[in-house]
Structure 1
């Protein structure tokens, strides 16, 4: 989990640097939220489906996406997962069970019930995991989705990554309470809130939630409380963010937190860390080389794959 989190961080920071250089389009990062992505994805099985949002790189990489193909997609190259047509905001990868990435806030919530209903009607194995943020939870589609999932008893794991920010607006400006999980019981849906910056805690909570959805065939809402350490969309100077709050959350960065714990517990040897860091650097370097050397889509691709 630690190495995967490091890979996600390095991938997103490299893309942000490319954007700053004018070598890539703007992206939405999830720097600081890596523990949530890795912990939940690790609890899922290969037969499970995933729907996610505009901060999807962590979910995709944790699911096993090839960093080179992912970076090629963001750079608009034909070797990307969607032939360079999706950018960073609409990636889908059927072979990974990633049905879609929606840049429309709450868009994945509107479709997750349909994917879960299809699984139920077809008698397919597996569950559906839907990732969204606290901003999407403040939209009507969140409540419509939960209501239908409850009424239809769907095998659907809702994962609210509460990162405290809804674009440029703080959660406190749009929500009466601190947590989204408390809204689920009103629909007859079990829920849980977990420290989203603790990868092992997220894994334990997600494992419990997934087991429940799998065994009962009913929805569950897991809220991971985390923090977005970079701006809403690159480039973003975060001038709207309280400096003291940001500094406090940086102290709770999930990557050094897990690293310290593993070293202290003896589960990670000091000599292993440099090798891990080197693998991550080499992987990102190779991914960028692959993306840059890949061709752009041919003009003939302009109107292909419009519907599927």
Structure 2
């Protein structure tokens, strides 16, 4: 891989982590001394993607303007990597009027039509939506592709199988990306899924399926390159499952008592691992690492400040911008 590409992947992962750390900080800032999930400037559940950065960075590196992504309830890493407006996205997470949906959607319902990004709190909801987007691209004669992102738990939903079947039948330009972080909330994959890899399920629908181990951003990048090129050239859908890592809880406030392996999780963090690889190969040095982190911090903190300065919605407008 070219050093410039490696640097780009590293920078993207650092920015995502910096963002998630900032949201973590702001989310908990006013939920003390007793944690109350409904209190504070960011009330409600919060699902952060620390540890899963390689999936978003590796896939989105190949996407072009006009391509679409439907993400899961853990969406920030893909939103940032796909180019969602970081300030409007942050304002939405804070529930402010300058947010993507005027503060009405929150962090699980981020919609940015400008870059064709959406996500949902409903498990597996984005899979059939991506199939519809791919059908539209195909009917219009475009070379755009759709990417549907879901967790390994969503691969047990009926929508997963219906979507793969229809995409294969119609030879649509869609890539299904499954993030296997081993846990569907608190349920281990081994106790909920009959196959060892969801990539095996692709064969049932006559499409290619590959599993990427070790949470490697370069391996994700390589697999996504092949799948996306196939889709753009009329070769149809593919499935990529990445064995990734959820560094933090399913949601903020999750005590994670169900995770026997939790003690060793920090040592599997993909960012310091990749940083060490790039140091060893001479691609990174201390000055570049410092510049990367400073750029990310500036961009993220500007977005946090923008969100906090945005007004809160007027309760009198509660019925505006919704279906009647």
Q: What is residue 237 of structure 2 aligned with on the other side?
A: 219
Q: Residue 111 in 1 paired to residue 111 in 2? A: no
Structure 1: which 5+ runs fail to align?
Answer: none
Matched position secondary structure for 1:192: strand
Residue in 1 that maps onto 2:86: 67
Contact 2:98 2:310 in 1 (8 A): yes
Deviation for aligned residue 1:174:
0.1
Over 3 Å counting, the alpha-carbon distance change for 1:115 and 1:196 in structure 2 is: farther
Deviation track 1:224-243 (CA, whole Å, cap 9, x = no partner) reads 1111111111121211111x
1:266 alignment partner, SS class: coil
**2:129 is equivalent to residue 121 of structure 1:** no
Counterpart-to-counterpart distance in 2, 1:47 and 1:282: 28
Aligned to 2:171: 153
- Offset at 1:257? 1.2
1:296 is matched with which residue? Answer: 312
Tell me if 1:140 matches 2:182. no
Which residue does the alignment assign to 1:17?
25
Please state how far the C-alpha of 1:299 moved relative to its aligned partner. Answer: 4.2
Bigger mean CA deviation after superposition, 190-199 or 29-38: 190-199
For 2:16, the equivalent position in structure 1 comes to 8
- 8 Å Cα contact 2:92/2:103 also seen in 1: yes
Q: Report the Cα distance in structure 2 between the residues aligned to 1:110 and 1:251, rounded to whole angstroms.
A: 36
Q: Does 268-277 or 47-56 show the bigger shift?
A: 268-277
Q: Is 2:260 the counterpart of 1:252?
A: no
- Structure 2's unaligned 5+ residue stretches are 1-8, 32-40
**Compared CA separation, residues 97 and 35, structure 1 to 2 (3 A):** same
CA distance in 1, matches of 2:232, 2:296: 34
**Runs of 4+ with deviation above 6 angstroms:** none
Q: Partners of 1:125 and 1:189 in 2: how far apart?
A: 19
Q: For residues 26-105 of structure 1, what are the structure 2 equivalents within 5 Å?
A: 26-98=45-117, 100-105=118-123
Distance 1:179-1:254 versus aligned 2 partners, 3 A rule = same
Provide the rounded CA distance (Å) in 2 between the counterparts of 1:214 and 1:165: 32
Other-structure match for 2:280? 264
Distance 1:70 1:161 in 2: 22
SS in structure 1 at match of 2:61: helix
Q: Say how many residue pairs are matched.
A: 305
Q: Distance in 2 between matches of 1:58 and 1:230?
A: 14
Decide which moves more: 87-96 or 40-49.
40-49
Q: Distance in 2 between matches of 1:39 and 1:131?
A: 13
Give me the TM-score of the superposition, normalised by structure 1: 0.94
Contact 1:75–1:291 (Cα < 8 Å) also in 2: yes
Question: 1:269-295, CA deviations, whole angstroms, 9 ceiling, x for partnerless residues?
Answer: 222111221222222222111110111
Q: CA separation in 2, counterparts of 1:196 and 1:126?
A: 29
Measure the CA separation in 1 of the matches of 2:12 and 2:130: 26
The Cα shift of 1:180 comes to: 0.4
> TM-score of the superposition, structure 2-length normalised?
0.89
| Conserved? CA contact 1:36–1:196, under 8 Å | no
**Whole-angstrom CA distance in 2 between matches of 1:49 and 1:189:** 20
Q: Is the alpha carbon distance of 1:196 and 1:93 closer, same or farther for their aligned partners in structure 2, counting shifts above 3 Å? A: farther
Provide Cα deviations, 1:75-121, integer angstroms capped at 9, x if missing partner.
001111121111000101111121x2011001111322222112222
Q: Give how far 1:20 is off.
A: 1.9
Alpha carbons of 1:72 and 1:196: their partners in 2 closer, same or farther (altered >3 Å)? farther
